């Protein structure tokens, strides 16, 4: 890959549309559900699973359930994907309000 191709690839990466939204992590063994918001739904599951495997999750109840039941008991699902929003402030407020809605609707815990 020469310099021009590299610059084009970097530019394309920076211009890509990143889907933001609300996701759920469910434990089949305990029936518990945790809800979170993410500015990039494509990468959030890898991040959550990584911190859980290393025992460094900031959500104590999720980490405890992970230790008790193991990775095989957990499932990740996208609950709601937001429309593209150019303004980060508006997207942040929308994510926050949709998170509150889903926490109440599913009687879940926040991540």
Domain boundaries, the chain: 20-110
- What is the model's pTM? 0.85
- Asked if the model's pLDDT at residue 110 lies above 90, the reply is yes
The mean pLDDT of the chain is 92
Please check whether residue 109 is in contact with residue 59, taking contact to mean a CB–CB distance below 8 angstroms.
Answer: yes
Q: What is the mean pLDDT of residues 84-110?
A: 91
Start-to-end CA span in the chain (Å): 41
Q: Which two tokens stand for residue 79?
A: 């609950």
Task: Inform me whether the pLDDT recorded for 94 exceeds 80.
Answer: yes
Q: Is residue 39 within 8 Å of 91, Cβ to Cβ?
A: yes
Q: CATH class for domain 20-110?
A: alpha beta
Tell me which of 94 and 8 has the higher pLDDT. Answer: 94
pLDDT over 80 at 13, yes or no? no
Is pLDDT above 80 for 12?
no
């Amino acid at each position: 890959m020469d310099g021009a191709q590299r610059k084009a690839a970097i530019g394309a990466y920076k211009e890509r549309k990143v889907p933001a939204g609300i996701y759920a992590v469910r434990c089949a063994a305990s029936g518990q559900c945790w809800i979170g918001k993410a500015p990039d739904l494509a990468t959030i599951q890898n991040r959550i699973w990584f911190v859980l495997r290393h025992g460094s999750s900031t959500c104590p109840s999720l980490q405890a359930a992970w230790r008790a039941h193991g990775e095989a008991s957990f499932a990740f699902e996208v609950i709601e994907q937001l429309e593209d929003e150019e303004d980060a402030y508006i997207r942040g407020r929308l994510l926050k309000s949709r998170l509150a809605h889903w926490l109440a609707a599913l009687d879940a815990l926040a991540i």
